[in-house]
Amino acid sequence: MSLLVVGLSHRTAPVGVLERAALTGDAPALLLRDAAATETVAEAALVNTCNRIELYADVDKFHAGVAELSLLLSHHSGVELEELTSHLYVHYEDRAVHHIFSVACGLDSMVVGEGQILGQLRDALARAQEEHTAGRGLNDLFQQALRVGKRAHSETGIDKAGQSLVTFGLDQIARTTGDIAGMRALVVGAGSMSSLAAATLVRAGVGDLLIANRTRERAERLVTNLGVANAAVIDFAEVPKALDTVDLVISCTGAAGVVITAEDIADAAAAREGLVPLAFLDLAMPRDVDHAVHELPGALLVDLESLSEADAAAPGAGDVDAVTGIVADEVTAFGAAQRAAQIAPTVVALRAMASEVVLSELGRLNTRLPDLDERTRAEVSQTVKRVVDKLLHAPTVRVKQLAAEPGGAGYADALRELFDLDLAAVQAVSGTLGAAKAAGMKTAGAQTVSAQTVNKAVSAQTVGVQATPNGTLAGGGAR
């Protein structure tokens, strides 16, 4: 697998760009289908969160892969390629593995060490599987990333040092409002982030808790899962009126536009002027709460932009160093395992060819010496097989060891060349014939942006991706 990652996050793009690039509705599924339908991409997965949009792909051509994925991100996000390119980062092969393992451990999160990213990676893999764009390569990668993230949280204190965005945001609000225990709260939305927010509020000891969602059944399911007597559901249309009765609002919907306007809030905020402000925690991307609320007296808005500017409580340097070490070790082990797996079909094909030669020669022996007794014939057969096994043992063991090292893929090619192995037979053993991959991975009817279009656009916009010594690749202003 030649792994390529093209994406943007809170580290490379301002919130305004992330907000405009946010993929909502059917856009994530369409992007995945289009990516998997390109000639360069064999598998594709999308990590799409409030502060991260990343395409992971198994590609057969690096430059064409970067160009196609960049254009697809631009096409589906609606952000012009020229602007988007300056915020993109590109990682390839081992550096791409290092990146996803770091993401899984929370090292690349807005709040270092937060554990919610594990659920988001799990959701990304599930979506790719549902769209039939993830095969064995990306499945193994994401499953291993999840294991690495769990290992980091179990073996270090990174989970205690880090916080979720919900907890961090509530901490920022509490600096102005004081303890949120006993407050009357409203959660708008019923997705994974909203569920986390509701559970966090319950643990914090809020008073009455209201849940509103466009689909009322999902809100009712969330209340049932919370299992507390002080939680209730209100209709989505009642949210503006409910603002008069609550002290705190957390909003995280998948809406494409503003859900709570400054006009909705103005009267409720004005009534609190001089008192503890009506607090809003907006975790949606694009934003749910009108940015103009920042200017309203009697209201306090904490959103992703203000969170990115706030100073999070830094985890201990020892924990970060420990997790960094875990990631480095796991990347090395994963790379070695992948390279060893790549040569395994060649070794199997070599042994299969040797077995055929042995059987052929024993057949000739039986024809030439038909009078040999069964005991002698069996002994000759075992002797020939032992000789072949001993001759093949050292080179096959050694080639596996060499192939597991960086740059070891060439040893499989050398083995095939030396023994004149049939490449088609090797591919059949590995189960990665191009036709089979196309049948299993490509989705019919996808709205594909052609490679010719990609090349023209890239030439016009001058993406100009180049490799750096450490394997990280940058285009335009990417890092």
Active site residues: 50
Pairing of strands 299-303, 278-282: parallel
DSSP annotation of 205 reads T
Closest CA to 149 of 194, 177, 179, 117: 117
DSSP annotation of 32 reads H
Dist CA 289 CA 341 (whole Å): 50
E strand map for 147-276? 185-188, 209-213, 231-235, 248-251
> Which three-class secondary structure state does DSSP give residue 278?
strand
* CA distances from residue 313 to 11, 167, 368, 447 in whole angstroms, order as listed: 18, 11, 83, 45
CB 160 within 8 A of CB 71: no
DSSP labels, 333-383: HHHHHHHHHHHHHHHHHHHHHHHHHHHHHHHHHHHH-TT--HHHHHHHHHH
Beta-bridged to residue 170, according to DSSP, are: none
E strand map for 384-474? 466-467, 472-474
CB 17 within 8 A of CB 53: no
CB 346 within 8 A of CB 430: no
Dist CA 142 CA 148 (whole Å): 10
Q: Residue 75 corresponds to which tokens in the numbers above?
A: 């096409």
Dist CA 157 CA 446 (whole Å): 45
Q: Which helix (H) or strand (E) holds 255?
A: none
Q: At 278, which amino acid appears?
A: L
Half-sphere exposure of 423 (CA within 13 A, CB side): 6
Dist CA 299 CA 279 (whole Å): 6
Residue 445 zone, left/alpha/beta (φ > 0; ψ -120 to 50; rest): left
